[in-house]
Amino acid sequence: MKLSALLAILILAVAGTAVRAAELKLEAQLVWASNQSTSPNPKHKPVEPEIKKKLESLPLKWSYFYEVKRQEFSVSDASETKVELSGKCQLEVRDLGDNKVEISLCGDGKVVWKGAQALPKKEILVLGGKAPGDTGWLVTIKRIE
């Protein structure tokens, strides 16, 4: 009886580890896009070169991209992971399996876009829109593990 209980605990522990290993690790960034070579906000820093290269491959009219906030997070198929990028910008992400994630972009608590995207490593999903003063906001999501 004791042995079987021990085995059950062991199996559960191994299964738990396997489930955790299957979690996707993602990174989201809120980016401010502009044609100003310096940001008026001293806290802003230019996005890392890898992200910049990806953004430059997209039909965006801006030359400078500033990282406003960056956050790493894990997603699972069990529940949605909420990522707050600004006071009014939030992501809800769920793992759909097969490298696919379901992403909801929320503004002021309302879902403004929801979609499912295959997100293999080295690929990036960018959600964006116009911002005041002929600038733009971008949310980049990439898989890191």
Q: What DSSP letter does each residue of 38-102 carry, written as one string?
A: S-SSTT-EEPPHHHHHHHHTSS-S-SEEEEEEEEEEEE-SSSPEEEEEETTEEEEEEEEETTEEE
Pairwise CA distance, residues 34 & 8, whole Å: 57
Judged by beta carbon, residue 9 or residue 49, the one nearer other proteins is 49
Pairwise CA distance, residues 113 & 69, whole Å: 20
**Of residues 61-100, which lie at the interface with other proteins (CB under 8 A)?**
68-69, 86-89, 100
Decide: helix, strand or coil at residue 2.
helix
Q: How far is the CB of 8 from other proteins (least distance, A)?
A: 39
**Of residues 34-53, which lie at the interface with other proteins (CB under 8 A)?**
39-41, 43-44, 53
Judged by beta carbon, residue 46 or residue 54, the one nearer other proteins is 54
Does the protein bind other proteins through residue 112 (CB under 8 A)?
yes
Q: Which of 30, 47, 91, 93 binds other proteins (CB under 8 A)?
A: 30
Pairwise CA distance, residues 49 & 55, whole Å: 10
Q: How far is the CB of 103 from other proteins (least distance, A)?
A: 9
Q: Near other proteins by CB under 8 A, which window of 11-19, 21-29, 73-81, 126-134?
A: 126-134
Burial 32-44 (b: 16+ CB within 10 A, else e): bbbeeeebeeeeb
- Provide the binding-site residues for other proteins, judged by CB under 8 A: 30, 32, 39-41, 43-44, 53-55, 57-60, 68-69, 86-89, 100, 102, 104-105, 107-108, 111-118, 120, 122-133, 135-137
